[in-house]
Chain A
């Protein structure tokens, strides 16, 4: 089956630093990947849609200069949280959509970010 990996699974960083999270589709190509954020006991909220070779599309209220997305290849998208603050602490989940029908999305295992 289609597998999506994320790295790291957990990261703790200090306020003001930047953190990069990787999302990889391991056995399929994904022109489109998605980044979600999930707070405890809440649902997934779409942050941005990442398109290979072009700029990401951000959801309303998500700062593009704070959450930098790079989708440089058909199997890798990265999310960089810049100048992190404690309120950025959350569970970040990516998904990758197959390039062929039925275009299902497969989710990564998530990255737990804690900003101290």
Chain B
């Protein structure tokens, strides 16, 4: 079953607002990843984090790998309508064969 707790489950925001979502785990992961999934599509990798404490940006997206290696957050600044979708966190262990997903955060952006 799921080992990652992702919150919030859903968010309704106005265009231009900032968004923050996070994932926590009861166990350590060596890599944290954030994906976005549009309806009827596969997940697309947004940001990958490989070191504890790492802070990485990709345009308006910023993600951090928690220092305990048990959590990560994703921030989206100045949201736009095309940010709508489901965002998943994923944790991967060192052997790379064990990637687990959070339950997802469904983001709705009102113009």
- How many residues of A sit at the interface, in one of the four size bands? 20 to 34
* Chain A, Cβ-Cβ closest to B43: A107
Tell whether A93 pairs with B42 under 8 Å between CB atoms, given A32-B97, A43-B88, A43-B104: yes
Q: Are A110 and B45 in contact (CB under 8 A)?
A: no
Query: What residues of chain B lie closer than 8 Å to A45, measured between beta carbons?
Result: 101
Q: How far is the CB of B54 from chain A (nearest CB, A)?
A: 13
**Number of B interface residues in the complex (CB < 8 A):** 21
Q: How many A-B residue pairs have CB under 8 A?
A: 48
A103-B88 Cα distance, complex, nearest whole Å: 19
Query: What residues of chain B lie closer than 8 Å to A105, measured between beta carbons?
Result: 45, 99
A58 within 8 A of partner (CB): no
Tell whether A49 pairs with B40 under 8 Å between CB atoms, given A42-B103, A43-B103: no
Q: Are A106 and B97 in contact (CB under 8 A)?
A: no
Tell whether A43 pairs with B50 under 8 Å between CB atoms, given A109-B42, A110-B40: no
| Given A34-B99, A57-B97, A107-B43, 11 more pairs with CB closer than 8 A | A32-B96, A43-B103, A44-B88, A91-B40, A93-B43, A104-B45, A105-B45, A107-B42, A108-B42, A109-B41, A109-B42
